[in-house]
Amino acid sequence: NAGVTQTPKFQVLKTGQSMTLQCAQDMNHNSMYWYRQDPGMGLRLIYYSASEGTTDKGEVPNGYNVSRLNKREFSLRLESAAPSQTSVYFCASSNAWLGEKLFFGSGTQLSVL
Amino acid sequence: DAKTTQPNSMESNEEEPVHLPCNHSTISGTDYIHWYRQLPSQGPEYVIHGLTSNVNNRMASLAIAEDRKSSTLILHRATLRDAAVYYCIRELTGGGNKLTFGTGTQLKVEL
C-alpha cells in the first residue's frame, strides 16, 4: 500500500524556470492538499482540492497553480520559480470530513537558485 | 484564529512517560484537536485526535481538559524513535479538514 506518492524527491531550479510537482494517492480519498515547509517552520497550506474538479487557495497560494487531474492525482506547478520558493513541499490526502486524519507524502526538496 | 500554543522543546529519558502540553483557549465546541509528529526528513505522521473525551490508541493517549482549552499528548514509554517535532492542531468546524500547523514541540529523547 503506497499511500501518498510524490515525485520528484529533489529538484534544483534556476530562477524563472518552471516545473510541476506530482502527487498521487491510492486510498480513494476525496481531498488533497499541498503544503510547504520552510526551515524551522511549521507547514503552510498552499492549495487544496476538496473533491475532484475543485481547487481552492490556502494560506500562501501566490506563485503557484494546481490541477486536480482526477481523484488520484493533484499537481502543483511553479510557473516562474523564485528563490523564496525554496522549501520542502508536502502533499497530503484525506476524506475531508471533520475529524478525519491526513496522510502525507515524503516530500519534495526544492531549491531555487 | 486557529492558533495553538506549545513549548518549543522538551526532553525525556528513554522508557519514561512524556506529557506534551498544548493550549487552545479559543477553541469552539465542535473543533477537533489533532496531534501529528514529524520525524527528521519525513512528512508529518498522524498520532491521535479527539473532540471532548480522552482518547487512546497504540501510539499515544490524548487527555483533553474538561473546558477543552488545553490538552496533553501522552507517550507512555518514550523511545529514541519518538524523537520528533510534535504538532498540536486545532481543526476548525467547517474547515474542510484543512489543518494549520504551528512550529510544534521538538521532543528530545535521551538514553
Confidence of residue A92 (pLDDT cuts 50, 70, 90): very high
Q: Residue B28 has what pLDDT?
A: 82
What's the 3-state SS for A6-52?
EECCEEEECCCCCEEEEEEECCCCCEEEEEEECCCCCEEEEEEECCC
| Interface residues of chain A, partner chain B, Cβ below 8 Å | 4, 31, 33, 35, 40-45, 48, 50, 58-59, 90, 92, 94-107
For A98, the closest of B87, B93, B104 (CB atoms) is B93
Q: Is the pLDDT of residue A3 over 90?
A: yes
pLDDT per residue, tens digit, chain B (111 aa), is 668 999 999 999 999 999 999 999 888 878 889 999 999 889 999 999 999 889 999 989 999 999 999 999 999 999 999 999 999 998 877 666 678 888 899 999 999
Chain A residue nearest residue B87, CA to CA = A42
Q: Residue B52 has what pLDDT?
A: 87
What are φ and ψ of residue A84, in 5° steps? -70, -10
Measure A40 CA to nearest chain B CA, in Å. 7
* Rounded Cα–Cα distance for residues B46 and A54 (Å): 25
Q: Residues B87-100: pLDDT tens digits?
A: 999 887 766 667 88
Q: Residue B96 has what pLDDT?
A: 67
Q: Residue B2 has what pLDDT?
A: 65
Q: Residues A39-68: pLDDT tens digits?
A: 888 899 999 998 888 999 999 999 999 999
For B91, the closest of A58, A92, A99 (CB atoms) is A99
Quick one: cell of A2?
A: 503506497
Q: Residue A1 has what pLDDT?
A: 64
Quick one: cell of A37?
A: 515547509
Chain B residue nearest residue A39, CA to CA = B103
Buried b (16+ CB within 10 A) or exposed e, B14-48: eeeebebebbbeebeeebbbbbbbbeeeebbebbb
For B98, the closest of A58, A90, A106 (CB atoms) is A58
Considering chain A, what percentage of its residues have pLDDT values greater than 70?
96
Mean residue pLDDT of chain A comes to 93
Measure B87 CA to nearest chain A CA, in Å. 8
Q: Residue B30 has what pLDDT?
A: 82
Of the listed ranges A16-20, A96-100, B49-53, B81-85, the one predicted with least confidence = A96-100
